[in-house]
Amino acid sequence: MSTTAVDTATAPGSGSDAVPRTKSWRATIGLGIVAALSLLVFGLGTPAGVQTTFTVSSSTDFITLPSITVPAKAAAVTLSIIALLLVGWVAYRANQYRKVGIWLPIVFGMVVMGALLTWAGADRSGTTIQLTGLLTSALFLAVPLVFGALAGTLCERSGIINIAIEGQLLAGAFLAALVASAVGNAYVGLIAAPIAGGIVGWLLAVFSTKYWVNQIVVGVVLNLLVLGLTSFFFSTVMSDNPELNQPLNMPDLAIPLLSGIPVIGPVLFDQNLLVYIMYAAVIVIQIMLFRSRWGLRVRAVGEHPKAADTVGIKVNRTRVRNTVLGGAVAGLGGAFFTVASGLAFGKEMTAGKGYIALAAMILGRWSPKGALAAALLFGFADALRVQLGIIGSDIPSQFLAMTPYLATIFAVAGLVGHSRPPAAEGIPYKK
């Protein structure tokens, strides 16, 4: 590093300290309440002397592991205390005017859900918690959320708010089903889906950059438009010609060796092609956004478009390209609903997943890895809802379904730590 003295401090108002001094207790309070509730309800609410059993592998696995049985109360209390310790860390950092990383709310969420799971699975002789199955379905349910959140990140990093993720997912799902059915090959759907999403992204970009229409308005209206269009064609062309909307399957491709690792193997490496594309997309976009020339320029456009313009970067062109790319990524995620799940297209089949993806993007603080983590957390909540339904838990499934939305409100209210969107987001660039 250079040895020259860093020039600081002439103006007190202009932020002359090298440490961003933000002392906020909101995150401590928000997470603290959740952790305390976890201890009260899941920890102390679990009857003593009973056990919870987790099954970690199925009989078909290469290596079978025995089920894990833990004393329920002790486990739930321990997990809740871990959650409280995490809150303590947040408080410690806040006292030092420091922020906490994205990992914290995600780990925190996982720990609290673990406590919930232990509590719900306690004293249920005969039923066990299928951990591997739970994780597998969590990952699978997270796929459209990851693609959607990546799409949101790509657009918003360049300064365009993408509320139309829902529409892009739906358009992708529709065209994937249509084209794959027409050709008779599910994989062709993976090519068609991003085209549909890209078109929706292009419309968003044109209305935002050329006509300066409020980006939230365009997003909302595009969602309605795509919903209307896909429903219309579903009820006319597709119902007149059922051969254009068939359930096509995309087989799981087990990766040799890797898929044999206990627990992780079947969860991560015995999935279909779309899931592997998702891994690649997260890694590539993460690296490109933060370490490539393109990424630096995109972020400059999203933070300070005028500054980007003065060094010769075409602001609106960058925005259009990114929004189309983002739309295409979301469209690809839409293929999850049809060809990658072995289902035919159905009206409104994305059912608000686009908005949860938006939530994952915010909770993931506009970064691909954060989006991945948040989407996995939400996918886990969704999988848990299904699992608890199976073991007949007392928790109404609706409350678990609410968790992503509640988590997001907490996040934007600053209750899970500070998040800062790109500064120029939503503002049309006019010379």
Partner 1 sequence: MSDGKQDETPVDSTPREPEGAAGEPDAGSDQPSRAQSVLREILESSTLVVIMAIVASLAIGGLLILFADEEVREAATYFFSRPSDTFQAMGDALGGAYAAMFNGAVLNLNANDFAGLIKPFTQTLTMATPLIFAGLGLGIGFRAGLFNIGAQGQLLIGATLGAYVGFAWHLPWGIHLLVAVLGCALGGAVWGFIPGVLKAKTGAHEVIVTIMLNYIALNLVAWLLTLDTFQRPDSNNPISPIVDETAQYPLILGSEFNLHLGFLLALACAWGVWWLMERSTLGFEFRAVGANPRAARTAGMNVSKAYILVMTIAGALAGLAGSAQVLGTEKVLTTATAGSLGFDAITVALLGRSRPVGTVMAAILFGGLRAAGPTLQVQAGLPVDIVFVIQALIVLFIAAPPLVRSIFRLPAPAHEKEVAA
Partner 2 sequence: MRLELREITKRFGDFTANDAIDLVVEPGTVHALLGENGAGKSTLMNVLFGLYDADGGEILLDGERRVFTGPGDAMAAGIGMVHQHFMLVPVFTVAENVMLGHEQVRGPAKLLDLDAARAKVTEISDRFGFHVDPDALVEDLSVGAQQRVEIIKALSRDAKVLILDEPTAVLTPQETDELLEIVGQLRDSGTAVVLITHKLREVQAIADTITVIRRGTVVGTAEPTATQEELASMMVGRDVSMTVDKDPADPGEPMLEISNLTVIDPATQLTVLDSVSLEVRRGEILAVAGVQGNGQTELAEAILGLAEITSGDVSLDGEPLAGRSIRENLDAGIGFVPEDRTEDGVVAAFTIANNLILDLYDREPYSKRGAIDPSAVADHADEQVERFDVRTTSSQALTGSLSGGNQQKVVLARELARDLKLLIASQPTRGLDVGSIEFVHKRIIEERDKGVAVIIVSSELDEVYALADRIAVMYHGRIVDIVSPDTDRDTMGLMMAGAHGDQEEAA
Interacting residues toward partner 1 by CB under 8 A:
26, 161, 163, 207, 211-214, 216-218, 220-225, 227-229, 231-233, 235-237, 240, 352, 355, 358-359, 362, 396, 398-399, 401-402, 405-406, 408-409, 412-414, 421-428, 430
Answer yes or no whether residue 431 interacts with partner 2 by CB under 8 A.
yes
Answer yes or no whether residue 280 interacts with partner 2 by CB under 8 A.
no
Of residues 329-348, which lie at the interface with partner 2 (CB under 8 A)? none
Identify whether the C-beta of residue 367 lies closer than 8 Å to the C-beta of residue 380: no
* Total interface residues for partner 2 by CB under 8 A: 43
Select from 50, 296, 391, 395 the one that contacts partner 2 (CB under 8 A).
Answer: 296
Tokens 């699975």 found at: 121
CB of 236 to partner 2, least distance (A): 45
Task: Give CA angle at 201 (196, 206), nearest 5°.
Answer: 130
β pairing state of 51-55 and 129-130:
parallel
Q: Give the Cα separation of 166 and 139 in Å (integer).
A: 19
β pairing state of 129-130 and 270-271:
unpaired
By beta-carbon proximity to partner 1, the closer residue of 77 and 204 is: 204
Q: Give the Cα separation of 150 and 419 in Å (integer).
A: 17
DSSP one-letter code for 428: -
Tokens, residue 29: 């309070």
Identify whether the C-beta of residue 272 lies closer than 8 Å to the C-beta of residue 252: yes
Answer yes or no whether residue 15 interacts with partner 2 by CB under 8 A.
yes
Q: Give the Cα separation of 122 and 265 in Å (integer).
A: 27
Tokens, residue 207: 């209305």
Select from 239, 306, 351, 402 the one that contacts partner 2 (CB under 8 A).
Answer: 306
Q: Give the Cα separation of 302 and 33 in Å (integer).
A: 35
By beta-carbon proximity to partner 2, the closer residue of 319 and 353 is: 319
What is the x/- site pattern for partner 2, positions 308-327, by CB under 8 A? xxxxxxx-------------
By beta-carbon proximity to partner 1, the closer residue of 71 and 426 is: 426
CB of 318 to partner 2, least distance (A): 12
Interface contacts to partner 2, rule CB under 8 A: 1-2, 4-18, 20-23, 97, 287, 291-293, 296-297, 299-300, 303-304, 306-314, 423, 431
